[in-house]
């Protein structure tokens, strides 16, 4: 197992490190002095090195604000065999995430204030900054509203069931009652009735694979209806897990109309599409399913253009036994906290046409804005909540290198280029 990558910032000088600061649109080589938990100086060269300073060579390394994940599963309590808050904390930090926003899918679900208090007491002392989505409906069943104001007063960051709410009347009432609370409301745009039992995005590749197809309109019909409700109610909404090209178009149109919406897609939907499902790897059984090739391209273009605001990890661990079944029978989800940054950097920046700032903006600033928070910055005087990444370091994704308890990733056993070396999280 990997060693912890947490570091303190009592008195450390990083020399010749590449500093990416999406807030200032800055990308430069500089010396960075961290002292007493804050960024004390950023200069082209710091000559007068204070005594008792630890000096670290930062050449070819990237220093950025800590990454923020918009939503991932929380299996503790209820399914600790998949993941505990301890292993989740270590996996997040190993992936460069200093802020993690967890869905309310615990057992029992996080649908009351007492549940939030219980979770907050379980957080390990070394954990990243955990934030919690409170449920929208009781027991995540999509039927009866929770006490939204009670959860807001208790300190949830926002509200989401983490899955579709099929009853449009319930959804309208949720937006009407939740709007005055000033917390983001994250909605999954999916029609379970239109999806039926689709396991793979409908198209030529689903026909070749012989798998039941999930049509594009299972997402877009639900999204169009949601946007019509938002147009009337005017409650700000975050649209989760956008996975289709048409979904990107609808969100672009909504933003042009001035609707108060933000949106995110997951890292896997930017890297893979239905062509990857040909080997029936159960780790690629996702919800929503991977899109067709045109969807993947449209999602990437949407993030670069700011139509899709942020990239979420949607880390969803399962046990070996749960995933070692046929593709259609496998539960939906895959791990990703430790893999997302290196694989996105390698495939979108090194092999693609993204800039480093575009990627880091979608993983740092944008998620915090979607949560209604002030984004982190690499600036003098700011708290040292930072991630140090080596884009060249290679490693093998296996039990020896990953902190996550689960192995449900299609990159298991493969060589990964790029690794987080250190994190500072205040």
Could you list the active site residues? 314
Q: What values do phi and psi take at 333, rounded to 5? A: 140, 160
> Can you name the residues that pair with 32 across neighbouring β-strands?
14, 42
* CB contact at 8 A, 349 and 387: no
Please name the residues in contact with 388: beta carbons below 8 A apart, sequence gap of 6 or more.
Answer: 14, 17, 58, 61, 62, 63, 420, 421, 422, 423
Residue 14, SS3 per DSSP? strand
* CB contact at 8 A, 54 and 61: no
Q: Cα–Cα–Cα angle for 299, 313, 117, nearest 5°?
A: 135
Could you tell me which of 38, 54, 56, 15 has the C-alpha nearest to residue 385?
Answer: 38
- Rounded CA gap, 279 and 208, in Å? 11
- Bridge-based pairing of strands 11-21 and 54-57 is parallel
- How far is residue 76 from each of residues 106, 151, 321, 331, 334, measured CA to CA in Å? 6, 19, 18, 18, 17
> Can you name the residues that pair with 13 across neighbouring β-strands?
33, 55
Q: What values do phi and psi take at 257, rounded to 5? A: -80, -5
Please name the residues in contact with 39: beta carbons below 8 A apart, sequence gap of 6 or more.
Answer: 32, 33, 378, 379, 380, 381, 382, 383, 384, 386
Chain centroid to Cα 75, Å, comes to 16
| Side-chain half-sphere exposure of 393, counting CA atoms within 13 A | 16
- What sign for the dihedral angle of Cα 362, 365, 369, 373? positive
* CB contact at 8 A, 265 and 223: no
Report the run of H or E that residue 305 belongs to, with start and end.
helix 293-305
If you search the block for the tokens 């990733």, which residue do you land on? 409
- Bridge-based pairing of strands 54-57 and 26-35 is unpaired
């Amino acid at each position: 197992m990997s060693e912890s990558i947490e570091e303190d910032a009592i008195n450390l000088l990083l020399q010749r490190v590449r500093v990416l600061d999406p807030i200032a649109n800055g990308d430069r080589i500089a010396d960075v002095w961290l002292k007493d938990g804050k960024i004390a100086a950023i200069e082209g060269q710091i000559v007068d090195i204070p005594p008792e300073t630890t000096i670290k060579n930062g050449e070819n390394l990237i220093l950025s604000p800590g990454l923020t994940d918009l939503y991932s599963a929380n299996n503790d309590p209820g399914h600790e065999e998949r993941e505990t808050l301890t292993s989740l904390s270590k996996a997040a930090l190993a992936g460069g995430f200093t802020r993690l926003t967890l869905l309310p899918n615990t057992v029992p679900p996080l649908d009351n204030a007492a549940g939030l208090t219980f979770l907050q007491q379980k957080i390990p002392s070394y954990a990243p900054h955990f934030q919690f989505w409170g449920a929208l409906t009781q027991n995540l069943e999509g039927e009866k509203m929770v006490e939204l104001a009670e959860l807001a007063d208790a300190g949830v960051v926002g509200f989401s069931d983490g899955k579709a709410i099929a009853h449009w009347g319930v959804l309208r009432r949720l937006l009407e009652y939740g709007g005055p609370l000033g917390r983001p409301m994250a909605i999954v745009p999916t029609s379970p009735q239109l999806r039926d039992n689709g396991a793979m995005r409908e198209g030529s590749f689903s026909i070749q694979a012989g798998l039941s197809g999930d049509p594009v309109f299972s997402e877009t019909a639900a999204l169009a209806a949601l946007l019509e409700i938002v147009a009337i109610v005017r409650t700000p909404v975050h649209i989760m897990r956008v996975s289709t090209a048409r979904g990107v178009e609808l969100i672009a149109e909504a933003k042009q109309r001035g609707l108060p919406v933000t949106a995110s897609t997951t890292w896997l939907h930017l890297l893979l599409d239905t062509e990857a499902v040909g080997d029936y790897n159960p780790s690629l059984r996702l919800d929503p399913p991977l899109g067709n090739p045109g969807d993947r391209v449209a999602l990437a273009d949407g993030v670069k253009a700011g139509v899709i605001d942020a990239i979420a990890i949607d880390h969803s661990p399962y046990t070996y036994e749960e995933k070692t079944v046929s593709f259609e029978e496998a539960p939906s989800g895959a791990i990703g906290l430790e893999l997302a940054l290196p694989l996105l950097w390698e495939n979108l920046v090194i092999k693609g046409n993204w800039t480093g700032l575009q990627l880091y903006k979608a993983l740092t600033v944008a998620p915090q804005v979607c949560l209604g928070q002030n984004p982190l910055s690499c600036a003098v005087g700011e708290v040292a909540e930072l991630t140090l990444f080596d884009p060249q370091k290679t490693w093998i994704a296996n039990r020896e290198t990953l902190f996550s308890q689960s192995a449900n990733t299609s990159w298991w056993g493969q060589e990964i280029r790029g690794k987080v070396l250190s994190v500072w999280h205040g």
